[in-house]
Amino acid sequence: MLIVGELINSSRKAIKEAVDAEDAEAIKKIAIDQYENGANYIDVNAGTYVGKEDKYMKWLISTVQEAVEVPCCIDSPDPKVVEAALELHKGTPMINSISLEKERWDALLPVVAGSDVKIIALCMSDSGMPETKDDRLSIASDLVNDLVKNNVPVENIYVDPLVQPISTNDSYGIEFMNAVEAIMAEFPGVHTICGLSNISYGLPERKLLNQTFVVMAICKGLDSAIINPLDRRMVAGIHAAETLAGRDEYCSNYLMAYREQKLSL
Ligand code: THG
């Protein structure tokens, strides 16, 4: 399971305060905590700084890269911000994200075509958010086929079928999970990824829903997630689910996680 640590996001109070105070040490500590708890990428999102997002994105990326050796996941809907971040990022980042929305697609395609970045392909188009499994599969097909045509290796594509709140439509969970299954079956070698917190929006005990949902999606083939790596129950559940889903030969990852004391709460 590839884990993207979600905590460096300016919509979180602790991050906003650290950015406003230019407190690099606070940002570095959060990057290191996530890295030490298994994050393979550190998501960086400065989306709340309207008009100044590029400036704060760049500061956050260089600060994170001074602290940890894992690359960043550059999280912005604005292609200009992504390009500014790419210029200074050392090593090979993940880009979060391209979508079928025309402006975003046209601006980001030349950036990713023929490059070795990992790219999150978000299932959104100019006609809005997908509702059903078939909506998601249709957008995913266009995204994957067009990226591959433009020399993006299928293994570098992480399709995000888009999690929507279960409180607004009681089929959003199953439609998402069936989309994961269909996308993984249709495009051998492609990855699937998601953020979890939307699923539980508007309901109590959100962590319970998020933790259960990730386990169910792993059963359908989800192989990466944007999560809080410091949520021990979530991480332990992910390890257990991957092993139980038959994706852990000789249970060796499970045993390693146990020895690293990642399974106790
Ligand atoms: N898909 C893609 N990218 C995304 C999302 C997605 N980026 C943004 C978001 N969704 C994922 N990132 C976050 C970041 C922070 C929080 C939620 C999602 C958040 N965290 C809790 C808080 O601040 O209180 C802390 C986490 C916890 O304690 O469990 O709110 O869907 N491609």
Q: How many CB atoms lie within 10 A of CB 110?
A: 12
Taking only the tens of pLDDT, the chain with its 265 residues reads 999 999 999 999 999 999 999 999 999 999 999 999 999 999 999 999 999 999 999 999 999 999 999 999 999 999 999 999 999 999 999 999 999 999 999 999 999 999 999 999 999 999 989 999 999 999 999 999 999 999 999 999 999 999 999 999 999 999 999 999 999 999 999 999 999 999 999 999 999 999 999 999 999 999 999 999 999 999 999 999 999 999 999 999 999 999 999 999 8
Tokens of 244: 């139980």
Transcribe 176-232 into DSSP letters: HHHHHHHHHHHSTT-EE--B-GGGGTTSSSHHHHHHHHHHHHHHTT--EEEE-TT-H
Max distance between CA atoms of the chain, in angstroms, equals 51
Candidate from 226, 231, 233 with most ligand 1 atoms within 8 A of CB, to mutate: 226
In this prediction the pTM is 0.97
Tokens of 111: 């950036």
- What are the residue ranges spanned by the domains of the chain? 1-91, 92-228
Check if 178 has its Cβ closer than 6 Å to any atom of ligand 1: no
Relative to the CA of 122, which ligand 1 atom is closest?
Answer: 32
For residue 25, report the distance from its CA to the centre of ligand 1, in Å.
Answer: 22
Candidate from 104, 197, 233 with most ligand 1 atoms within 8 A of CB, to mutate: 197
- Identify the CATH class of 92-228: alpha beta
Q: Which residue, 94, 110, 88, 115, is CA-closest to 43? A: 94
Q: How far apart are the first and last CA of the chain?
A: 19
Decide if 239 contacts 263 (C-beta within 8 A).
yes
Determine phi and psi for 122, rounding to 5 degrees.
-85, 130
Decide if 42 contacts 64 (C-beta within 8 A).
yes
Check if 96 has its Cβ closer than 6 Å to any atom of ligand 1: yes
Q: Which residue, 120, 124, 119, 144, is CA-closest to 136? A: 124
Decide if 83 contacts 17 (C-beta within 8 A).
no
